[in-house]
Amino acid sequence: MTRYAFFSTMLCAGLATSVPAQAQQVTDAHVQELIRAAAERVGAQTGAPSGAPARGGGTDARPTVALTLDDAVKLALERNLDIAVQRLNPATFDYSIANLRASYRPALTSQLSHVANTNPSTQTISGAAAGTGIEQGVTTYNGGITQNIRWGGGSFLAQLNNNKQTTTSLTALFNPAFNTNWAAQYTQPLLRNFKIDNTRQQLAITRLNQDISEIQLQASIINIVSNVRNAYWDLLFATQSVEVAKRSVELAERLVRDNQTRVEIGTMAPIDVVQAQSQSATQRQNLAVAEGTRRTNELSLKRLIVAGTQDPNWNAAIVPADQPEFAPQPIDIAAAVKRALENRTDLQQAKKNLQVNDTTLKYLNNQTLPQADLVARYGLIGQGGTQYITSGTGINRVVTGEIPGGYGDALSSLFNRNYPTWTMQLNVTYPIGTSAADATVARARVQVNQVEAQLKQIELQIATDVTNAATNVQNGVERVEATQAAREFAQRTLEAEQSKFEVGMSTNYFVVQAQRDLATAQNNELQAVLAYRKALVELERLQQTSLSTSNITILGR
C-alpha cells in the first residue's frame, strides 16, 4: 500500500465513523484538521517529521573549523605563501648594501717572493772578472693597507716594502743588503666625486629600493588582508544562502505534502500537486547551486589562509563564526581622502622613486664637474745589512773586513727618518665642449619632471577612487534598507497567502509565487549586505587603513 492509499484509507475511515455520509457537511476547518492528522500519520510511517528541514549535498565527514574574521586574518599573516615570498625581498637588499659598504672597509695587501739569477760580467764595474757570472738574489716581503673614505670620496694607502738582496759582485757595499721603505698616500677629490660618487650613489639608491620593497610588502599584506575579508564574507553569505535555499526547499516540500493530502481527501485536483512539485524541484536545484558556490568560496578562503596542502585547514570544513551586523557608518569623504593621501603605498612608492631619480640627477650633475684630485704622499727609506770594508777599485777591489748588520739596521734608519721623501700634487682634467654627461643630465631632469607629474596624477586618482568607494558605501546602506523592507513585505505576503490558502481564499499558484518572492527577497538582502560589507573593505583598502583597523603593525627595519 502506498502512502497515498494509506492517506485515502485513513481519511475515509475517519469520515465514516464521524457522521453519516449523507448528512455530513465538511467545513474548511474540519478539512484542515484532517490534513494535519493525516500528515502526522504519514510522517510517522516514513520516519521523518512533517516539518523536517530538507537536506542537500549529502553529509560532510571532514573535520570542522570555526573561524572568526580575526582568526582568518591572523592565519593569512602567518601562513599565506604570497606574503612569505614577499617578506624575503627586503632581506635581499641587506646583502647588496653590505656589498657596497664593504668598499669602505680597510683591505690588507701583501707580497712575498724570491728571485735568483746569474748574469755574465761584461764591464769592470760589474764587480767580477770577464767570463765569470754574477749571482744575485732578491727576497721581497711587502705589506700594506688600503681604504676608501666614505666622506669626501677620498682614498688612503699605506705600504711597508722590504727586500733582501744578495750578490757575488765585488762592487756591492752591503751583502746581504736589507732595503725597506714606508709610504703613505691620501687622494682627495675636490670637485668631481667629492659630494657623491658611483659607490655612494648606488648605496643611496639601494637603500631607497629596499624601502620600496618594504612598501611593496606592506601593500601586499594590505591587499591580502582585504582579500581575506572579502573571501570570508563571501563564504559567510554563501553559507547563509545555503540556509535560505534549505528553508525554501522546506517550504516547497511542505506545500507538496499539504497538496497531496488535499488531493487524497478530494478537495484539490491532482494537477495542483504538479505545480508544487515543480516549485520543490526548482528550490532543490537552487540549493545545489548554493552548495556549489559555498564550496567554491570556501576554497578561495583556504587559498589565502593555508601554508600548503599539508596544512590541517586545507582538508577541514571552514565554518564562519562571525555574524554580519548591518550598522550604517557615517562616511567623511574629505577625511577619507586625507587619510588615503597620507597612507597609500602607491603614493609612497612614487615618492621613493622620485628620491631615486633625484639621487641619480645629483650624481650626474657632479660628474659634469672638472676632475681635480689632490694627492699627498710621504715616505721614508731605510737601509741596512753587512757592510764590506774594501781596498782598491773595479776588479782589483778587495774586501778587507766586514761590519755586521741586518734588517734591524734598516728599520732603525727608517724610523729615524734618515731618508724622508714627500710629494704634493694636484691633478686636473677638464673636458672641452659638451660632454656625454651633459646629455645624460638633461635626460635625468626630464625623468624627474615626469615622476613629479605622476605624483599629481596618483593623488588625483586616489581622491577619485576613495570618493567613488565612499559613494558605494552610502549607496550600499540604502540598498540594504530597501532589501530589508522588501524581504519583510515578502514574508508577510507569504504568510497572508498561506492563511488565505488554508481557508480556500487563495490558490496554489499564488502560494508558490509568494514562496519564490520570499526566497528572492532573502537572497537580495544577503547580496545587499554582502555588497555593503565588501564596499567597506574596499574603502579601507583604498585608504590603506585595513591594517590599523585590524590592529596589525608592520615593524620597520
Residue 265 CB contacts under 8 Å (≥ 6 apart), including other chains: 7, 8, 11, 31, 34, 35, 38
Query: CB pairs under 8 A, 24+ apart, for 221-225?
Result: 221/77, 221/83, 221/86, 221/547, 221/552, 221/554, 222/345, 222/541, 222/544, 222/546, 222/547, 223/541, 224/76, 224/80, 224/82, 224/83, 224/304, 225/73, 225/76, 225/77, 225/546, 225/547, 225/550, 225/552
Rounded to 5 degrees, what are φ and ψ at 271?
Answer: -60, -30
The domain locations on the chain are 107-189+371-429
Where is pLDDT greater, at 197 or 27? 197
**What is the pLDDT at residue 463?**
92
Does residue 14 surpass a pLDDT of 60?
Answer: no
Least confident segment among 182-191, 346-355, 357-366, 424-433 = 424-433
Does residue 298 surpass a pLDDT of 80?
Answer: yes
| Cα–Cα distance measured from residue 397 to residue 170, given in angstroms and rounded to the nearest whole number | 7
| Cα–Cα distance measured from residue 198 to residue 364, given in angstroms and rounded to the nearest whole number | 9
Report the percent of the chain where pLDDT is more than 70: 83
| Cα–Cα distance measured from residue 192 to residue 518, given in angstroms and rounded to the nearest whole number | 80
| Cα–Cα distance measured from residue 76 to residue 224, given in angstroms and rounded to the nearest whole number | 8
| pLDDT band of 33, cuts 50, 70, 90 | low
**What value does the mean pLDDT of the chain take?**
82
How is residue 194 written as a grid cell? 667629492
- Summarised one tens digit per residue, pLDDT across range 116-153 is 998 887 776 676 666 678 888 999 999 999 999 998 99
Say if CB 149 and CB 156 are below 8 A apart.
Answer: yes
Mean pLDDT of 372-384: 92
User: Of 82, 297, 243, 228, which is closest to residue 533 (Cα–Cα)?
Assistant: 228
User: Of 115, 343, 37, which is closest to residue 215 (Cα–Cα)?
Assistant: 343
Does residue 293 surpass a pLDDT of 90?
Answer: yes
Strand 107-120 and strand 371-391: the pairing is: unpaired
How is residue 190 written as a grid cell? 675636490
Question: Is 209 strand, coil or helix?
Answer: helix
Question: Is 386 strand, coil or helix?
Answer: strand
| pLDDT band of 34, cuts 50, 70, 90 | very low
For 154, half-sphere exposure in the C-beta direction (CA atoms, 13 angstrom radius) is 13
Does residue 489 surpass a pLDDT of 80?
Answer: yes
Does residue 183 surpass a pLDDT of 90?
Answer: yes
Cβ burial, residue 188 (10 Å; 0-12/13-18/19+): middle
| Cα–Cα distance measured from residue 531 to residue 547, given in angstroms and rounded to the nearest whole number | 21
**What is the pLDDT at residue 384?**
86
DSSP state of 47: T
DSSP state of 406: -
**What is the pLDDT at residue 60?**
66
Least confident segment among 231-240, 407-416, 500-509 = 500-509
How is residue 483 written as a grid cell? 532589501
* Residue 145 β-bridge partners: 108, 158
**What is the pLDDT at residue 11?**
33
Least confident segment among 11-25, 46-60, 132-146, 229-243 = 11-25
Least confident segment among 61-65, 398-402, 524-528 = 398-402
Where is pLDDT greater, at 556 or 180? 180
Give buried/exposed letters for 486-524 (b at 16+ CB in 10 A, else e): bbeebeebbeebbeebbeeebebebbbebbbbbbebbbb
Cβ burial, residue 78 (10 Å; 0-12/13-18/19+): exposed
- Summarised one tens digit per residue, pLDDT across range 163-176 is 999 988 777 888 88
- Summarised one tens digit per residue, pLDDT across range 323-377 is 777 778 788 888 999 988 988 888 999 999 999 999 999 998 898 888 899 999 9
**What is the pLDDT at residue 29?**
53
**What is the pLDDT at residue 54?**
39
Residue with cell 565554518: 319
**What is the pLDDT at residue 162?**
92
Does residue 232 surpass a pLDDT of 80?
Answer: yes
Where is pLDDT greater, at 547 or 114? 114
| Cα–Cα distance measured from residue 326 to residue 337, given in angstroms and rounded to the nearest whole number | 24
End-to-end Cα spacing for the chain: 80
Where is pLDDT greater, at 505 or 201? 201
Strand ranges (E), 121-173? 133-148, 155-167
